[in-house]
Amino acid sequence: MPGTAEMNKWVEEMAAQCEPKNIVWCDGSEAENHSMIEDMLDSRELIRFNQKKWPGCYLHRSHISDVARAEKKTFICTDKHEDAGPNNNWMLPKEAMSRVFPLFKGAMKDRTMYVLPYIMGMPGSPMARVGLELTDSAYVAASMRIMTRMGSIALEQKEALKKGFVRGLHSKGDLDPERRFIVHFPKEETIWSIGSGYGGNALLGKKCFALRIASSIGKREGFLAEHMLIVGLQSPEGETTYIAAAFPSACGKTNLAMLTPPAHMAGWRVFTVGDDIAWMWWAEDGTLRAINPEAGFFGVVPQTSMKTNPNAMETIRKNTIFVNVAMTQDAMPWWEGSDSPPPAEAWDWRGHPWTPTSSEKAAQANSRFTTPARQCPSISPKWEDPQGVPISAIVFGGRRSQLAPLVYEAFNWSHGVYVGSGMATETTAAQSDYGMMTRRDPMAMLPFCGYNMADYFQHWLDMGKKAGAKLPKIFNVNWFRTGANGKYLWPGFGENMRVLRWIAERAQGKGKAVETPIGFVPAEGAIDTDGIDVTKETMRELSGVDPEAWLAETEDHEAFFGQFGKRLPAGITAEMEALEKRLGKK
């Protein structure tokens, strides 16, 4: 076997449990990928799209009960419940051993076990870490090859391998949701996933490793593993400011990561470094550096179009695996919100005949593209820099129809940590069984923090105390505030660049602002509104801070933080009390 002795031993042990018919170590080569794709076309695990129009693009259909991350079946396994925290489902490691591990017994009979060595991060980066995923899904193997640097290259990372490797065991099992488990062992840096073939549950480098396991390693080792996009904003003078931004799902993260500046801002450019995950650490020179540990984008397809995200559209034109989109009769992908009108006849995501009069959607609401980041026209020339990019601003955001201004800047790092910890977003009826509700999602990490979130807040506060650190400024944005008529006050999309520009200016000590109890909002005229239909009054409304409503918000914070009991850092309580005082609480 080509791996390290420790890898080979683990593969043997897992093979003894899973009993695969054969074991294939993947080298990541073009030839290997080609033959795997041919096999999947034969078995209908993949369907070929029109190769003239969509070269290298394929359709994969998942089981209809397996279309999203299974949060209820996702567990953190620690000896003590409080180490997983109230934010996670928890299981004792020995319970996982008796309840989950047996599900792998013989699970790969008649199947191939693919052994995938991969790197999260890029070769030669001080942050790079190696993972080894064992899977019985060829679709997972082909997707991991897009999403990570996969194959022999991972085995050549001598420095990274000194830190060991993250073990990931994946089997589709029988796809029964009752026997679906995604369990994480942060101490052992191990993941077991069974019963799902969906990306977020099965591509173990992504949410499981790069967020849940890495966040817990980050706590031990002093770095941050965050659910953040990274962009570089280049001014007409050629100066680039890097921003990392956390948003819960359905807030347009991929669109923001690939934003096209409006015509009005000629000379400005946005460079994409990452769209989902950032690992950040203090460099010797005191800057906060960030890498995107992934090599691809696993993005939501519906509503992606030349209007909402032309860079994504360009990116997914080739070498892309689509999951659960519709297929037209001439073998083209189609989805709701695409640039082409609905086809007269198509196959929907389940493979059933579909017409525009069908009551069901043609593409599944969470249908996805898996596409190489290097194909993105806006990809940053620095996206593979092993030393990452220097972050000048951290942005938090959510979907709030009321309350939160378009943008505000925290007073300092610890206030910014409080702002992030109080993040919330309104779900839409499409996302939640309960209809509209405000979901607290600190730093957009609620489903991804691999340990007690109270300790995570403390880790953030501690990161800000590093001697010599050049602390980035922290901001909060809200593109979704509505006026009395229920309509959005801000045009959004490319126009968000105007707000990013103010953020970049503030990060450089420029840009005019006014102090309010919640932080600094843009001074009148500080955000350029030339050429858009946003009046001075609207800008005032967008920057409005209602003390009563904010005091009600802090009560909500208090209720949410209450679940962490004594473990909640004093630094968070102090920030909340200071805010209440500024708001005039008696």
Fill in the per-residue mask, 290 to 309: x = in contact with ligand OXD (CB under 6 A), - = not in contact.
--------x-----------
Q: Output 200 or 522, the one with its CB closest to ligand OXD.
A: 200
* Minimum CB–partner distance for residue 227 and Mn ion (Å): 6
Q: Is 249 an interacting residue with respect to ligand OXD (CB under 6 A)? A: yes
- 185-204: contacts with ligand OXD (CB under 6 A): 200
- In whole angstroms, the minimum distance from the beta carbon of 91 to ligand OXD comes to 22
Q: Does 212 bind ligand OXD (CB under 6 A)?
A: no
What is the spatial distance between Cα 433 and Cα 441, in angstroms, rounded to a whole number?
17
Q: Among 211, 267, 185, 187, which residue's Cα sits nearest to residue 69? A: 211
Select the binding partner of residue 197 from ligand OXD, Mn ion, none (C-beta < 5 to 8 A, by kind).
none
Q: Which amino acid is at 241?
A: T
Q: Which of 293, 476, 497, 225 is nearest to 378 (CA)?
A: 497
Q: Which part of the chain contacts Mn ion (CB under 5 A), choosing from 276-284, 297-305, 355-363, 532-540?
A: 276-284
Binding partner of residue 69 among ligand OXD, Mn ion, none, CB cut-off 5 to 8 Å per kind: ligand OXD
- Which of 66, 133, 136, 276: binder of Mn ion (CB under 5 A)? 276
Residue 276 touches ligand OXD, criterion: CB under 6 A: yes
455 binds, among Mn ion, ligand OXD, none (CB under 5 to 8 A by kind): none
| Minimum CB–partner distance for residue 298 and ligand OXD (Å) | 6
Residue 114, binding choice from Mn ion, ligand OXD, none, Cβ under 5 to 8 Å by partner class? none
Q: Which of 471, 372, 476, 463 is nearest to 420 (CA)?
A: 476
The reply on whether position 440 binds ligand OXD by CB under 6 A is: no
Interface residue with ligand OXD among 60, 69, 184, 400 (CB under 6 A) is: 69
Stretch in the footprint of Mn ion (CB under 5 A) among 269-277, 372-380, 384-392, 422-430 = 269-277
Give the residue from 148, 86, 443, 87 showing the smallest Cα distance to 280: 443
Least separation in angstroms between CB 208 and Mn ion: 12
Count interface residues toward ligand OXD (CB under 6 A).
5
| Residue 18 is a catalytic residue | no
The residue to which tokens 């190696």 are assigned: 130
CA distances to 64, 181, 184 from 176, rounded to whole Å, are 11, 10, 20
DSSP assignment string, 375-398: G-TTB-TTTT-TT-EEEEEEEEE-
Footprint of ligand OXD on residues 516-555 (CB under 6 A)? none
Contact predicate 47/327, CB 8 Å: yes
Strands (DSSP E) found in 172-291: 181-185, 190-194, 224-226, 228-234, 240-246, 269-274, 278-282, 288-291
Pairing type for strands 333-334 and 112-120 reads unpaired
| Residue whose CB is less far from ligand OXD, 69 or 501 | 69
Contact 261, 496 (CB under 8 A): no
* Cβ–Cβ < 8 Å for 117, 129: no
Could you say which DSSP state residue 343 is in?
Answer: P
User: What number of other Cβ atoms are within 10 A of residue 361's Cβ?
Assistant: 15
The least CB distance from residue 393 to ligand OXD, in Å, is 22
Assess 275 for contact with Mn ion (CB under 5 A): no
Catalytic residue among 208, 251, 376, 449: 251
Residues forming contacts to Mn ion in the complex (CB under 5 A) are 276
Q: Where in the sequence numbering do the catalytic residues fall?
A: 251
Residues forming contacts to ligand OXD in the complex (CB under 6 A) are 69, 200, 249, 276, 298
